[in-house]
């Protein structure tokens, strides 16, 4: 190894060159012999060296924000699906070259070292990744936004496939330490649980409530730096870890002996132990509610304590100077919790407290599935959070008076709109609580917002139309184009300059190049290189070889019935059936990739995973098929996998039942990287098609209105009987071709497809899907035109940058400006 260690040169921030600093951290911080550094130690030393560079900017950013009189924003989320941080930080600091050179001294390439980092998988899917993209954009736009979340010891589970079935393993991502976090015990907060609420009179004879006999848990913050792109800004993501208080063992837990009471601390420490892996259904577990309240209470106390440090106990301007964005209803306890703190800890009266609360809370909804709306049983809630429950009942009492006034002729509406769903086991409707307590309620794509206003929340929209607004999602082009697709980045920079990295609307300048034959060819070469990279990745993970001249046809997302991975499999079976019948004239080879995790308790989703694997097994091993069709289920789809997948994808499958996918964000990542979309008129697909132009988008299936109408009289058996292609697909499925020796394993899926009450109308869209897939096949043969369409998709993706989305949150909801 070439070990010329540079002479220590001190830069203006007091740090030596990266090379010097890496060596120093290897020797002193990590106590290692630098010359024998393993990849793992080298990664850690390099990461700490980068973190040191961030710290100066981090402090300066905090100071600038503190000195400004700006409103501050807090993004409250149970999930931040960050992925890796190393390359992101290096690129944002403009250190790529210096880092590459420094690592070269150790015989290591930057990309290779970056592989050492474990993904921070602190989220399920779209909602969690959106939070991470938003933080990136806030830092890029220099906005005073802090993320608040939980520091789960175990993130999203690791998925393995065994005999075609999903197996979950815990993800202990912190095992080797986390170089990106700084623990700040001095900012710890105390969070109360259980106990009871009691009334008392103060010295002036005024009565108040207080929450007593509680079991308290400590919240210890761990801060992660969120760097902006070459702009000196470093914002903060503050993640709370739960710890037992010192007196914890003195409570009711010391009935046993000393050792038993120390061991009882685990109750407190469990709160942030693990991320719940459900992404679309409420589960009503007490631990989940503890997590939600723990996040909310610690974060609100944190903000208030800092306010009091700076401004004293005058809270009259608190509402005007602070804003909390609630990422779905998961942190909706923030509404009653802020009321509690203002009234019980700061002796404010109800009206003033309510005025402040409703000035600073804003709620984002991410779902159209009624079964996914969070509800908590009043009895569970009341036991865990008695004082909050009282406050929620009072919020509801006052709200229902307003309802009565707004709808005098409709007495039933009170029960419909009540925050408390009555019945023998009453429940709290968290979405209603969030709407009543917020000044803004937004959906995440145009269609989604319209459907919310007309459907789930129509009565609220009638009462308060001014609250409702749309913020179509976006993704950060810095991770999802610049970082993950260096080949395309270089081509773009050469053609149109670098400004798109900070402002994606500039990518429109690419449009004229769609007409340039030599550019199209280079575009195609970059795509081919990315397909090779993806094919290698697939081969390493699954052993299956993709033919790089095949259409790379990809569907990666959580497994859910409404996302219709099943429809995709039915199409694969149809292609297989055609090949077996010898009907393969003009068929272009296809490499179909499907990936995603099923919630461990979601039985049907797990059977879908099994079906994909079994069908793949048959198709991939049939000699008659050869290279014409390959089908792969890619295990453990996550952020880092997507960074390899989306640059190599040519066809992006966005095939949900119309009216069910709130937005989708994978669709945007694929578009930026030049994939064409095959999709329904659902979520942000509609806006993608509008921007790209209908001629550059493969549309199929029923729209949301037609879906509603079709449900009334849906007869899937007739569809099967009347369509020979579909009949053969169902025959293959029903004859057990894909489950030899495993009788009945797919009955639940077959029964669903043939059920007139099938919510997802899979067979209703299959014919149209097959037709449009044929158009894809034909279009792909015209390589020039395919590349032209691909360029147009990238060139018109500017709207789907999270910078645009965050710009709209800042001006239309938060009322904040960049800190200069
Ligand atoms: C709720 C209660 C208990 C346990 C877990 C949950 C839970 C956790 C995560 C419920 C839902 C989620 C995640 C939802 C989600 O990711 N929704 C997606 O949000 C994206 C960003 O807005 C949209 O693009 C997708 O359309 C939407 O499905």
| Catalytic site includes residue 317 | no
pLDDT above 60 (res 1): no
Average pLDDT over residues 642-653: 98
- Annotation says 366 is catalytic: yes
Whole-number pLDDT of residue 184: 98
Tens of pLDDT, residue by residue over 112-140, are 999 999 999 999 999 999 999 999 999 99
Give residue 281 CA to ligand 1 midpoint distance, Å: 9
Q: Which atom of ligand 1 is nearest to the CA of 448?
A: 26
Rounded Cα distance between 304 and 655, Å, is 45
Is 366's C-beta closer than 6 angstroms to any atom of ligand 1? yes
Beta carbons of 672 and 475 less than 8 angstroms apart: yes
Relative to the CA of 125, which ligand 1 atom is closest?
16
pLDDT value for 7: 47
What does the block give as tokens for 596?
A: 């995603």
284 — pLDDT class (breaks 50, 70, 90): confident
Distance of CA 432 from the midpoint of ligand 1 (Å) = 17
Q: In the structure encoding, which two tokens stand for residue 551, read together?
A: 């259409």
Q: What are the φ/ψ torsions at residue 628 (nearest 5 degrees)?
A: -65, -40
Is position 597 annotated as part of the catalytic site? no
pLDDT score of 2: 44
Q: Which residue has the tokens 């005073």?
A: 144
- As a whole number, mean pLDDT of residues 345-353 equals 97
Distance CA(675)–CA(817), nearest Å, equals 34
Q: In ligand 1, which atom is closest to the CA atom of 130?
A: 21
Residue whose CA lies nearest to ligand 1 atom number 9:
279
**Residues 6+ positions from 240 with CB-CB distance below 8 Å:** 148, 149, 150, 151, 219, 220, 221, 222, 272, 294, 295, 298, 299
Average pLDDT on 199-205 reads 93
Res 108: pLDDT? 94
Which residue shows structure tokens 């079976």? Answer: 573
pLDDT of residue 324: 99
Spatial contact of 11 and 93, defined as CB atoms under 8 Å apart: no
On whether the CB atoms of residues 219 and 189 are closer than 8 A, the answer is yes
What is the tens place of the pLDDT at every residue in 179-188?
Answer: 999 999 999 9
Least confident of 406-410, 451-455, 584-588: 406-410
User: How far apart (Å, rounded) are the C-alpha atoms in residues 296 and 319?
Assistant: 17
- Distance, in Å, from the CA atom of 237 to the CA atom of 531, rounded to the nearest integer, reads 35
Q: Is the CB of 282 under 6 A from ligand 1?
A: yes
Q: Respond yes or no: is residue 527 known to be catalytic.
A: no
Q: Is the pLDDT of residue 4 over 70?
A: no
CB within 8 Å of 316: residues ≥ 6 apart = none
12 confidence band (pLDDT: 50, 70, 90): low
Q: What separation in Å is there between the alpha carbon of 495 and the centre of ligand 1?
A: 38
Residue 3 banded pLDDT, cuts 50, 70, 90: very low
User: Which residues on adjacent β-strands are paired with residue 207?
Assistant: 201
The alpha-helical segments, DSSP class H, found in 329-445 are 334-340, 350-360, 378-384, 386-406, 413-417, 430-437
Q: Residue holding tokens 């001190």?
A: 10
Residue 174 pLDDT more than 80?
Answer: yes
- Mean pLDDT, the chain, integer: 96
String of b and e for 772-801 (b: at least 16 CB within 10 Å)?
Answer: bbeebeebbeeeeebbbbbbbbbbbbbbbb
C-alpha 184: how far from its chain's center? 26
Residue 42: the pLDDT is: 95
Q: What six digits make up the tokens of 784?
A: 């020039």
- Asked if residue 467 lies in contact with residue 435, where contact means CB atoms within 8 angstroms, the answer is yes
CA of 444 to the centre of ligand 1 (A): 12
The label of the residue with tokens 């009638």 reads: 462
Percent of the chain with pLDDT over 90: 93
Helices 724-734 and 762-781 cross at an angle (nearest 10°) of 110
Tokens of 128: 């969690």
Per-residue pLDDT tens for 135-165?
999 999 999 999 999 999 999 999 999 999 9
Q: What is d(CA 817, CA 806) in angstroms, rounded to the nearest whole number?
A: 11
Please state, in angstroms and rounded to a whole number, the distance separating the CA atoms of residues 50 and 45. Answer: 9
Average confidence (pLDDT) over 409-436 = 96
pLDDT of 752 reads: 98
Catalytic residue chosen out of the listed positions 25, 71, 366, 691: 366
Please determine, for residue 672, whether its predicted confidence score (pLDDT) is greater than 70: yes
**For this structure, is 665 an active site residue?**
yes
Any atom of ligand 1 within 6 Å of the Cβ of 130: yes
**Tens digits of residue pLDDT in 687-746:** 999 999 999 999 999 999 999 999 999 999 999 999 999 999 999 999 999 999 999 999
Whole-angstrom distance, CA of residue 275 vs CA of residue 154: 6
Q: Write down the pLDDT at residue 257.
A: 80
Question: 457: number of CA atoms within 13 Å, CB side?
Answer: 33
Confidence of residue 6 (pLDDT cuts 50, 70, 90): very low
DSSP 489-536: HHHHHHHH-SGGGT-GGGGGGGGGGGG-HHHHHHHHHHHHHHHHHHHH
Q: What average pLDDT does this structure show over 604-616?
A: 98
Instruction: Assess whether 669 carries a catalytic annotation.
Output: yes
CA 280 / ligand 1 centre spacing (Å): 6
Query: pLDDT-derived band of residue 259, with 50, 70 and 90 as boundaries?
Result: confident
CA atoms within 13 A on the CB side of 365: 36
Distance (Å, whole) CA 98 – CA 46: 12
- Please indicate whether residue 682, judged by its CB atom, sits closer than 6 Å to ligand 1: no
Contact present, 364 and 444 (Cβ < 8 Å): yes
Q: What tokens were used for 749?
A: 């899926």
pLDDT average, residue stretch 307-316: 96
**What is the 3-class SS of 218-237, one letter each residue?**
EEEEEEEEEECCCCCCEEEE
- Atom of ligand 1 at shortest distance to CA of 372? 10
Determine whether the shortest distance from the Cβ of 286 to ligand 1 is under 6 A. Answer: no
Q: Could you tell me the distance, in angstroms and rounded to a whole number, from the CA of residue 686 to the centre of ligand 1?
A: 20
Looking at the CA of residue 79, tell me the nearest atom of ligand 1: 9
């Amino acid at each position: 190894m070439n070990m010329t260690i540079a002479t220590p040169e001190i830069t203006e921030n007091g740090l030596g060159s990266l090379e010097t600093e890496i060596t120093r951290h290897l020797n002193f911080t990590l106590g290692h012999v630098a010359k024998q550094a393993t990849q793992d130690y080298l990664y850690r030393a390099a990461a700490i060296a980068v973190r040191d560079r961030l710290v100066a900017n981090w402090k300066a950013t905090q100071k600038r924000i503190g000195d400004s009189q700006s409103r501050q924003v807090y993004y409250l989320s149970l999930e931040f699906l960050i992925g890796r941080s190393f390359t992101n930080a290096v690129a944002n600091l403009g250190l790529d070259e210096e880092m590459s050179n420094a690592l070269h001294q150790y015989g290591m390439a930057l990309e290779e070292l970056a592989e050492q980092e474990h993904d921070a998988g602190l989220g399920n899917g779209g909602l969690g990744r959106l939070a991470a993209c938003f933080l990136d954009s806030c830092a890029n736009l220099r906005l005073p936004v802090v993320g608040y979340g939980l520091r789960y010891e175990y993130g999203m589970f690791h998925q393995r496939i065994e005999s075609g079935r999903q197996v979950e393993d815990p993800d202990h991502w912190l095992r080797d330490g986390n170089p990106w976090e700084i623990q700040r015990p001095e900012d710890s907060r105390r969070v109360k649980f259980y106990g009871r609420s009691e009334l008392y009179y103060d010295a002036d004879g005024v009565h108040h409530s207080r929450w007593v006999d509680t079991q308290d848990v400590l919240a210890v913050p761990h801060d992660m730096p969120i760097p902006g792109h070459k702009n000196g800004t470093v914002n903060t993501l503050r993640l709370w870890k739960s710890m037992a208080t010192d007196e914890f063992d003195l409570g009711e837990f010391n009935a046993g002996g000393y050792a038993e009471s120390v061991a009882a601390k685990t109750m407190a420490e469990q709160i942030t132990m693990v991320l719940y892996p459900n992404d679309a259904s409420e589960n009503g577990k007490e631990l989940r509610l503890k997590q939600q309240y723990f996040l909310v209470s610690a974060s609100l106390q944190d903000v208030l304590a800092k306010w009091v440090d700076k401004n004293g106990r005058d809270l009259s301007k608190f509402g005007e100077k602070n804003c909390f964005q609630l990422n779905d209803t998961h942190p909706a306890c923030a509404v009653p919790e802020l009321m509690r703190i203002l009234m019980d800890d700061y002796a404010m009266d109800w009206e003033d407290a309510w005025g402040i609360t409703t000035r600073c809370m804003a709620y984002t909804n991410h779902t159209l599935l009624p079964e996914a709306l969070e509800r908590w049983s009043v009895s569970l809630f009341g036991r865990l959070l008695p004082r909050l429950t009282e406050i929620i009942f009072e919020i509801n009492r006052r709200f229902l008076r307003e309802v009565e006034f707004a709808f005098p002729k409709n007495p039933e509406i009170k029960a419909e709109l009540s925050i408390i769903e009555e019945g023998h086991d009453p429940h709290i409707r968290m979405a209603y609580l969030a709407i009543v307590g917020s000044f803004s309620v937004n959906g995440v794509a145009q269609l989604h917002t319209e459907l919310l206003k007309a459907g789930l929340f129509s009565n609220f929209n009638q009462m308060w139309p001014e609250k409702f607004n749309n913020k179509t999602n976006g993704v950060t082009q810095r991770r999802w184009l610049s970082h993950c697709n260096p080949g395309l980045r270089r081509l773009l920079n050469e053609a149109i300059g670098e400004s798109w990295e900070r402002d994606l609307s500039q990518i429109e300048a690419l449009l004229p190049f769609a007409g340039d034959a030599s550019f199209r060819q280079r575009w195609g070469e970059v795509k081919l290189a990315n397909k090779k990279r993806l094919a290698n990745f697939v081969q390493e993970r699954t052993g299956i070889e993709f033919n790089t001249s095949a259409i790379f046809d990809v569907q990666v997302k959580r497994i859910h019935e409404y996302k219709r991975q099943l429809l995709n499999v039915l199409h694969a079976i149809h292609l297989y059936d055609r090949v077996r019948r010898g009907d393969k004239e003009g068929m272009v080879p296809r490499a179909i990739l499907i990936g995603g995790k099923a919630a461990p308790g979601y039985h049907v989703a797990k059977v879908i995973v099994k079906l994909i694997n079994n069908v793949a097994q048959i198709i991939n091993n049939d000699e008659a098929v050869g290279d014409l069709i390959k089908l792969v289920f890619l295990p453990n789809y996550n952020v880092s996998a997507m960074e390899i997948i989306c640059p190599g994808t040519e066809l992006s499958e966005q095939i949900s039942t119309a009216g069910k996918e709130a937005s989708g964000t994978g669709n945007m990542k694929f578009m930026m990287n030049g994939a064409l979309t095959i999709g329904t008129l659902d979520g942000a697909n509609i806006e993608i098609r509008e921007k790209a132009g209908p001629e550059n988008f493969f549309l199929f299936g029923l729209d949301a209105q037609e879906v509603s109408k079709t449900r009334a009289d849906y007869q899937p058996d007739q569809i099967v009987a009347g369509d020979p292609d579909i009949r053969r697909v169902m025959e293959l499925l029903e004859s057990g071709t894909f489950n030899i020796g495993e009788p009945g394993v797919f009955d639940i899926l077959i029964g669903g497809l043939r059920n007139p009450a099938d919510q997802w109308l899979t067979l209703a869209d299959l014919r149209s899907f097959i037709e449009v897939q044929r158009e894809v096949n034909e279009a792909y043969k015209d390589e020039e035109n395919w590349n032209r369409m691909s360029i147009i998709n990238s060139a018109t993706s500017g709207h789907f940058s999270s910078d645009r989305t965050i710009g709209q949150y800042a001006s239309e909801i938060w009322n904040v400006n960049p800190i200069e």
